[in-house]
């Protein structure tokens, strides 16, 4: 199988680089400065055992490949806010033997949150969810860092909305030869919602920087997650427990600091690169949506969603809101919701 990585950023670059390093055929899809860097200098993947450069085919869209192969696997690794554009481009792409990518090819949604795969299922017949536990960073064009060992990440795989199949087991086998743990599960959304609860803290890091271990940071993270759990519980949505996640990962995916690599989640990286957009609508905003549907107040997630969007739109610096000020705004938001 040939893997077409749509969105060769942090997650896409790490997955694509590791697959290529294990001998699998990989095509990278990127735009702008990232496309130019990958085309001219290759993908530089920094991992605990060193830095590797992979000179792989890189395209801006399906036109760069012509007719797609029947054994192609599309890996959608763009941020959720960019999903529509990617599906519009790749869904109609012709496949050898007839038909289109949307009709014939498997699409793996390697994204945070749960919205991307919902959107994809409207266009693609074979949609697969991926619960991405893969700490990686991308702040410099052409350079991706993935700082975990002994495995680079854990990628739970399943058909969306549920089930498994043979092609998924083949993909999992390729990933497991490429330094990933890739459990195939029939209930992939249960793992994705658990990851969503963790991702609610992405906006906190983007706004106020990495957790400083202080009381304000600890309290905010706890309260934001509690809102998320209450919304999921009210909606009757199951999710893996913290203990189950910890036991499943064990010591297989352990962070190893890399020299010169900034510590920041995906939302922090969006602000650091001044992209103008951020995924808060599909992380904190997912909890806000569920809260509104099921009568659960979510003022903290609503606050984070709004602030993150403002910071992205106005291209404010990542981590520039003091955590004490954010805590004050959080208290005001909760008080206002209780009036």
Tell me the H-state helices in the chain: 10-21, 32-41, 83-90, 101-104, 115-121, 166-176, 188-199, 202-208, 215-235, 242-249, 266-272, 284-294, 299-313, 323-338
Average pLDDT, the chain: 96
| Average pLDDT over every residue of 75-101 | 98
Locate 265 and state its tokens.
Answer: 């989640």
Is the pLDDT at 191 greater than 90? The verdict is: yes
| Average pLDDT over every residue of 223-233 | 98
Asked if 144 and 17 touch (Cβ cutoff 8 Å), the reply is yes
Q: What pLDDT, on a 0 to 100 scale, did the predictor assign at position 211?
A: 79
Q: What pLDDT, on a 0 to 100 scale, did the predictor assign at position 214?
A: 86
Q: What pLDDT, on a 0 to 100 scale, did the predictor assign at position 64?
A: 96
Q: What pLDDT, on a 0 to 100 scale, did the predictor assign at position 95?
A: 98
Weakest-pLDDT range from 184-193, 210-219, 293-302? 210-219
Paired with 95 in beta bridges are 68
Is the pLDDT at 259 greater than 90? The verdict is: no
Is the pLDDT at 213 greater than 80? The verdict is: no
Locate 20 and state its tokens.
Answer: 């290529």
Q: What pLDDT, on a 0 to 100 scale, did the predictor assign at position 262?
A: 73
The overall longest dimension of the chain from CA atoms, in Å, is 63
| Average pLDDT over every residue of 256-277 | 89
Residue for token pair 């520039």: 320
Asked if 290 and 296 touch (Cβ cutoff 8 Å), the reply is yes
On whether the pTM is more than 0.85, the answer is yes
Q: What pLDDT, on a 0 to 100 scale, did the predictor assign at position 261?
A: 80
The confidence band for 235, taking pLDDT boundaries of 50, 70 and 90, is: very high
Weakest-pLDDT range from 83-87, 125-129, 136-140, 207-211? 207-211
| Average pLDDT over every residue of 22-38 | 98
How far apart (Å, rounded) are the C-alpha atoms in residues 311 and 334? Answer: 21
Q: What pLDDT, on a 0 to 100 scale, did the predictor assign at position 260?
A: 80
The confidence band for 98, taking pLDDT boundaries of 50, 70 and 90, is: very high
Residue whose C-alpha is closest to residue 159's, from 134, 183, 208, 126: 126
Q: What pLDDT, on a 0 to 100 scale, did the predictor assign at position 321?
A: 97
Backbone φ, ψ for residue 236 (5° rounding): 70, 30
- Name residues whose C-beta falls within 8 Å of residue 336's C-beta, 6 or more positions apart in sequence: 299
Q: What pLDDT, on a 0 to 100 scale, did the predictor assign at position 306?
A: 98
């Amino acid at each position: 199988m040939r893997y077409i990585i749509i969105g060769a950023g942090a997650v896409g670059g790490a997955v694509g680089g590791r697959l290529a390093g294990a001998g699998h055929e990989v095509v990278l899809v990127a735009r702008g400065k990232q496309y130019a860097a990958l085309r001219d200098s290759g993908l530089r993947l920094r991992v605990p055992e060193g830095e590797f450069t992979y000179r792989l085919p890189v395209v801006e869209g399906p036109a760069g490949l012509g007719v797609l192969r029947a054994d192609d696997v599309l890996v959608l690794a763009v941020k959720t806010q960019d999903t529509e554009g990617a599906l519009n481009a790749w869904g109609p792409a012709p496949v050898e033997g007839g038909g289109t990518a949307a009709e014939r090819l498997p699409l793996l949604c390697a994204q945070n949150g749960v919205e991307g795969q919902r959107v994809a299922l409207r266009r693609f017949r074979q949609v697969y969810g991926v619960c991405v536990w893969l700490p990686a960073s991308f702040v410099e064009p052409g350079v991706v860092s993935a700082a975990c060992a002994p495995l680079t990440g854990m990628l739970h795989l399943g058909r969306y909305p549920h089930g498994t199949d043979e092609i998924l087991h083949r993909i999992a086998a390729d990933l497991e030869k490429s330094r990933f743990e890739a459990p195939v599960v029939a209930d992939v959304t249960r793992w994705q919602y658990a990851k969503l609860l963790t991702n609610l803290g992405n906006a906190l890091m983007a706004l106020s920087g990495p957790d400083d271990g202080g009381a304000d940071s600890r309290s905010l993270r706890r309260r934001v997650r509690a809102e998320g759990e209450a919304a999921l519980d009210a909606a009757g949505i199951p999710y893996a427990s913290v203990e189950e996640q910890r036991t499943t990962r064990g010591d297989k995916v352990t962070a190893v600091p890399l020299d010169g690599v900034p510590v920041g989640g995906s939302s922090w990286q969006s602000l650091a690169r001044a992209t103008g957009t951020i995924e808060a609508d599909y992380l904190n905003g997912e909890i806000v949506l569920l809260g509104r549907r099921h009568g659960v107040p979510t003022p903290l997630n609503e606050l984070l969603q709004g602030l993150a969007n403002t910071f992205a739109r106005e291209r404010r610096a990542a981590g520039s809101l003091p955590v004490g000020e954010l805590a004050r705004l959080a208290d005001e938001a909760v008080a206002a919701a209780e009036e």
